[in-house]
């Protein structure tokens, strides 16, 4: 008889290792920190060795943890492929698509009716995903993920969807004549909206201190309002609460409709350290519904980038 590991411990280990934090892992899985710790201890008892070390940069794997992480990654990928192959034998009624809430709300949702009109026989079911755990649990056919550029290269099961720029935006009434500031230093007098919470590092392009330094602003960065979700920060900007650093795909429509405008010249844009990719299981590579949706959304993304 096989000695099976505690599967809840494997999920806890995967989350803790990705976040390098018990607290963040608990938040992702909807558990308490003590529950995560308990599950990890059960897994360590099964393995017979410590799996994670606490360091100054967060949780890092022990040698046993490194070995387990490699095997766990392969196992989760194989499970996803097994589910996809099983689904491929009988085509489901709907195409299950997962993506982040901001991309859904500010870009995809308003374009989906055009796909439905062009392909009435392909039903779409949309899911909001914010973690790998959610994506696995939902058994998705297609995922749209925002990943570091190193992982955004084209493969047989994914393609680059959109390579974005990052820049400050605000409602027109916050700016003189609703136009970009002639003197970027005037940005220091405007209310600021922060994407992320204190201590989180999403990349230099999201850092207001970096923007102030690039624009030659010597005034201190205002504390402002902070949001852990870019979609909420953009919503606040649309209500006139201040200036937010936005991604080009998410603010494209609002800029085109003059609900938002650039705060400084486009020559100051910064490239995003992440990119959107669209991904599907290898077992669905010949699924016509997947091929139709991928081709359609890639065309929409290209249209957006060219405007």
pLDDT of 50-92, one tens digit each? 989 888 878 888 988 888 888 877 777 666 666 666 655 555 5
Q: Would you say residue 29 has pLDDT above 60?
A: yes
Identify the CATH homologous superfamily for domain 76-151+274-306.
Periplasmic binding protein-like II (3.40.190.10)
pLDDT: which is higher, 196 or 221 = 221
Q: Would you say residue 22 has pLDDT above 90?
A: no
**Average model confidence (pLDDT) for the chain?**
86
Residue ranges of the chain that CATH labels 3.40.190.10: 76-151+274-306, 164-273
Q: Would you say residue 106 has pLDDT above 80?
A: yes
- What is d(CA 227, CA 246) in angstroms, rounded to the nearest whole number? 13
Architecture label for domain 164-273:
3-Layer(aba) Sandwich (3.40)
Model confidence band, residue 18 (pLDDT cutoffs 50, 70, 90): confident
Q: What percent of the chain has pLDDT over 90?
A: 42
Torsion of CA 105, 107, 113, 114, to 10 degrees: 180
For 7-72, give the CATH class: mainly alpha
Per-residue pLDDT averaged across 201-210, rounded?
82
Q: Take residue 287 and report the two structure tokens written for it.
A: 């699924």
pLDDT: which is higher, 261 or 156 = 261
pLDDT per position as a tens digit, 158-199: 898 888 899 999 999 999 988 999 998 899 899 999 987 544
- What is d(CA 20, CA 73) in angstroms, rounded to the nearest whole number? 16
pLDDT at position 203 is 74
Query: Which stretch of 15-19, 71-75, 261-265 has the lowest confidence by average pLDDT?
Result: 71-75
Q: Would you say residue 244 has pLDDT above 90?
A: yes
pLDDT at position 199 is 45
Q: What percent of the chain has pLDDT over 70?
A: 90
Q: Would you say residue 131 has pLDDT above 80?
A: no
Model confidence band, residue 270 (pLDDT cutoffs 50, 70, 90): very high
Through-space distance between the first and last CA atoms of the chain, rounded to whole angstroms = 61
DSSP for 154-217 reads: -BTTEEEEEEEEEEEEE-GGGSGGGS--SSGGGGGGS-EEEES-TT----GGG-HHHHHHHTT-
Q: Take residue 6 and report the two structure tokens written for it.
A: 């505690």
Q: Would you say residue 129 has pLDDT above 70?
A: yes
Residue ranges of the chain that CATH labels 1.10.10.10: 7-72
Please, what is the Cα angle at 224 between 263 and 195, to 5 degrees? 70
Angle, helices 230-238/248-256, rounded to nearest 10 degrees? 20
């Amino acid at each position: 008889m096989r000695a099976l590991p505690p599967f809840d411990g494997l999920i806890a280990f995967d989350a803790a290792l990705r976040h390098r934090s018990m607290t963040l892992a608990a938040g992702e899985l909807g558990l308490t920190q003590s529950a995560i710790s308990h599950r990890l201890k059960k897994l360590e008892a099964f393995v017979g060795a410590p799996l994670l070390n606490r360091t100054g940069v967060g949780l890092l794997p022990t040698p046993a943890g490194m070995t387990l992480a490699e095997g766990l990654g392969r196992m989760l990928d194989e499970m996803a492929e097994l589910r996809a192959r099983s689904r491929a034998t009988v085509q489901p009624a709907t195409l299950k698509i997962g993506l982040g809430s901001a991309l859904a709300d500010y870009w995809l949702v308003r374009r989906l009716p055009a796909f439905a009109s062009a392909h009435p026989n392909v039903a779409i079911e949309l899911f909001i995903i914010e973690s790998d755990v959610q994506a696995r649990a939902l058994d998705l056919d297609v995922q749209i993920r925002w990943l570091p550029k190193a992982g955004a290269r084209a493969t047989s099961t994914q393609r680059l969807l959109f390579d974005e720029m990052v820049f400050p935006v605000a409602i027109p009434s916050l700016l003189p004549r609703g136009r970009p500031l002639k003197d970027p230093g005037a940005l220091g007098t405007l209310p600021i909206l922060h994407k992320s919470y204190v201590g989180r590092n999403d990349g230099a392009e999201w850092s207001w201190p970096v923007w102030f330094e690039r624009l030659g602003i010597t005034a201190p960065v205002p504390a402002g309002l902070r949001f852990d979700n870019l979609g909420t920060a953009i919503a606040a900007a649309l209500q006139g609460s201040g200036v937010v650093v936005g991604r080009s795909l998410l603010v494209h429509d609002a800029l085109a409709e003059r609900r938002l405008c650039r705060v400084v010249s486009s020559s100051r844009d910064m490239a995003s350290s992440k990119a959107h990719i669209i991904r599907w299981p290898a077992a669905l590579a010949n699924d016509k519904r997947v091929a139709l949706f991928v081709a359609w959304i890639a065309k929409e993304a290209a249209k957006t980038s060219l405007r």
